[in-house]
Structure 1
Amino acid sequence: MSEGYWTRKLESLEIELPGVAAPVGSYAPAVRSGAYVYTSGQLPLRDGELLGTGKVGGDLGVDEAAGMARQCALNALAAVDDLVGIDAVVRVVKLVGFVASAPGFHSQPVVINGASDVLAEIFGDAGVHARSAVGVSELPLAAPVEVELIVEVEG
């Protein structure tokens, strides 16, 4: 990709990456090892505030949770951008999504599509990734979703 390609793509989509969310524990938002950047799990924070709390399939609907998963993915990209610059991304390799699920809720993949879809929107074929969508009983701060990424980067 040419220098600044992903930055221009974000601008054309009118997507602005948020500031890096402050860690809620003893960890780094992202670390690089070789050609890969691994992000810590990102919650649906915007301007330091959770977009919502509760269990998907109980307190929240699928569409609302999918929007929160989208925010999680953007927060993860912000961590990548802060560490190496968004234009260093070669491809998104893996996404792991966690969904705080009410009993009997089985649509975790639909919720995590909110994260996957924004990555495909931004990166096209380079945004198509391997993925896990996992239902859990609780997440930090009572968040409904959490997303982590592995991305391949240049040099």
Structure 2
Amino acid sequence: MSETEKKLAAMGLALPQVAAPLAAYVPAVQSGTHIHTSGQLPLVGGQLPLAGKVGADVSPDDAKELARTCALNALAAVKSVAGDLDRIRRVVKVVGYVASDPGFTGQPAVVNGASELLAEALGTKGVHARSAVGVAVLPLNSPVEVEIVVELAD
């Protein structure tokens, strides 16, 4: 078990199985020293715990927790390519999509769920650039989706 996975375990978390793609893509690809993940939904055991728009059907606090799950799923996708999360030199970029009620403007606070998990699990290596984008709808009517780019140390 990697040091990063031990840190996750101390947080009460374990890497899930990599989520099966919903269409014609793979969960993550490596290009040079970078791994790019596909957008990760907050699937738990293959199921979406909550559905709908943030600010209407899903509370911002619940959406923040879902973003955290998305980040954990993204780390699982990274591990599937890198083989070991301790190879991560740094998280370069996080992009979070929030299916938002038209009046909802708290996307950054929702995507903080992903950012905070990465910083907690990886320390300074988890600090990253980020975008938090409100969208009309996401696959499976998911409230959030997160993708990450990491740089490997070797």
CA distances 1:13-58 after superposition (whole Å, capped 9, x unpaired) = 3321111000001001000001100000000100000111100000
Give the CA deviation at 1:10: 2.3
Q: CA deviation at 1:103?
A: 1.1
Offset of residue 124 of structure 1: 1.1
Aligned to 1:44: 42
CA distance in 2, matches of 1:10, 1:57: 29
Letter in 2 for 1:145: V
Task: Note the alpha carbon deviations across 1:90-143, whole angstroms, 9 max, x for none.
Answer: 111100000000011000000000000000100111111000000000101100
Residue 116 (structure 1) aligns with: 115
| Aligned partner of residue 78 in structure 1, secondary structure | helix
Identity %: 56
RMSD (Å) for aligned C-alpha atoms: 1.2
Task: Find out whether 1:63 has 2:61 as its counterpart.
Answer: yes
Tell me how far 1:87 sits from its aligned partner. Answer: 1.6
Greater mean deviation of Cα atoms: 82-91 or 114-123: 82-91
Q: TM-score, normalised by structure 1?
A: 0.95
Tell me the distance in 2 between the aligned counterparts of 1:12 and 1:127.
Answer: 17
Tell me by how many angstroms 1:83 deviates: 1.1
- Are 1:128 and 2:138 matched, yes or no? no
Pairs within 5 Å for 1:64-143: 64-84=62-82, 85-143=84-142
Instruction: Name structure 1 gaps, 5 residues minimum.
Output: none
Cα distance in 2 between the residues matched to 1:41 and 1:4: 24
- Structure 2 CA distance for aligned equivalents of residues 9 and 89 of structure 1: 14
Q: State the SS of the aligned residue for 2:130.
A: strand
Q: Distance in 2 between matches of 1:7 and 1:110?
A: 25
User: Which residue identity does 1:138 align to in structure 2?
Assistant: V
* Separation (CA, whole Å) in 1 of partners of 2:8 and 2:110: 23
Q: Does 1:4 align with 2:2?
A: yes
TM-score (norm 2): 0.96
**Residues 1:17 and 2:24 are matched in the alignment:** no
